[in-house]
Every structure is written in C-alpha cells, then in structure tokens.
Amino acid sequence: MIWKILLSLYIGVITVLAFIIPIGFIPGLGERARIIFLHVPSAWLSVIAFFVSMLYGIRYLKSKDIYNDIKSVASAEIGFLFCFITTITGSIWAKFNWGSFWNWDPRETSIFVLLLIYGAYFVLRSAIEIEERKATLSAVYSIIAFVTVPFFIFIMPRIMPGLHPGSKGDPEGAGPVVSFKMDPNMRILFFASLIGFTLVYLWIFSLRSRTEILKIKIENKIYREVQS
C-alpha cells in the first residue's frame, strides 16, 4: 500500500514539474516541447505493454495455462489504451505546430495502424467463444502483431519524409528525443517520466491481471459447487 502512495506522489510531482520547470529551447518546439513528458512515455509504455503481451502469448502456447492468456490480454489492453493516449496527445501537438489535428504524417499514420492492428486483436477475441481456441489464436496474433510494432514505431517514421521531428530529411537529425537535444533539467524530468510511466504500467498490469484471475477462480469455484 505504501509503494502505491509513494508512486502517486511521484507521478504528481512529475506532473507539476512538467508544467513549471524551465526547459531549454528546442528548435521548432519551444514551450510546446513540454508535451514530450506525456507523449513519448505513453508511446514507450505502448511498446512495453505490447511486448509483454507477446511474451505471455508465447508462454501460453508453451504451457496452455489460462493465466498466461489473461496476463497477455491485460497487457494488450494497457498497450492499446496508451497507444490511444499517444495518438490523442500527438494530435493536440500537431494542431499547435502544424495547424491541424491530423495530417497523415508517417508518425501519425503508423500509430493509427497500430491501433487498428490491436483493435482487431480484441475483435478476434470477442468473436470466438471456445476459451482454449480463443486463447491460442490470441497468443499467435499477439506474436504476429508485435512483429509490426518496431517497424511502425521506430523504423517507418524515420525512413519517410514527414512533419514529425526525426523524419527523413529533418534538418535537426534524429529529433529532440532520440538525440537528447534537451537541457539537463528537461533530460532528468524526461527520464523520471519514463520511469514513472513504467511503474504505473506495472501497477495497472498487476491489478488488472489479479482481478481477472480472481474472477476465473470464483467462477470455477461456483461451477464446482453447482456440479457437486
């Protein structure tokens, strides 16, 4: 319980500092660069969550343990949520920098495609009633889906010309995040935000997984009582 309180305070402090801490000038961004403290960690969390979903999918295929399927789904749900947050924060940033919420920039397009890919994952699960078949197909899909994540997050936006910092032809090179063109205050807060978001992921993942596992155990207990 104490660590949850400390984590809440930690996130609260980071949120406040993200608005008030002096940041150095980043070409083309200025004060709008503060969105990096939310936008980039959200994207980072999506990658982590989708990766963990794939890992538990692999574990399910090896063990056929339904609890691994539950954890795979829980992580995919979190990844999808933060992928959506990444899309929203990126659209807000685009409005102030490019004049429109959506410009079909390669970075915007790639994150939108990921939303479609993982949205299809949940559609697949909802369309199958047999639990073992659902878990097996979901595990296979999670593995195939994650193969696309590095391409759409790290490769495609950098090999195509676009408006987003770090795109092909960007005069500033890899962009303010990849090349860490930040002053010390901003860099420290950025990494602190990454750590905070990662801890939040672990918290939500643990809570979501335990809730679903507990529900399965209760349903199994009720079933056994009815059968007896």
- Tens digit of pLDDT for each residue in 152-197? 888 777 777 766 666 665 655 555 555 556 777 788 888 899 999 9
Statement: residue 219 has pLDDT above 90:
no
For residue range 116-125, what is the model confidence (pLDDT) as tens digits? 999 999 999 9
Nearest to 79 by CA among 178, 177, 208, 172: 208
% the chain with pLDDT above 90:
45
Which residues are paired to 168 by β-bridges? 161
- The pLDDT of residue 173 is 56
What does the domain layout of the chain look like in residue ranges? 37-227
104: alpha, beta or left? (left if phi > 0; alpha if psi -120 to 50)? left
| Count of CA atoms in the C-beta half-sphere (13 A) of 40 | 21
Q: In this structure, which amino acid lies at residue 61?
A: L
pTM value surpassing 0.85: yes
Whole-number Å distance between alpha carbons of 89 and 95: 10
Give how far the C-alpha of residue 212 lies from the chain's centroid of Cα atoms, to the nearest Å: 20
Q: In this structure, which amino acid lies at residue 184?
A: P
Nearest to 78 by CA among 101, 56, 62: 56
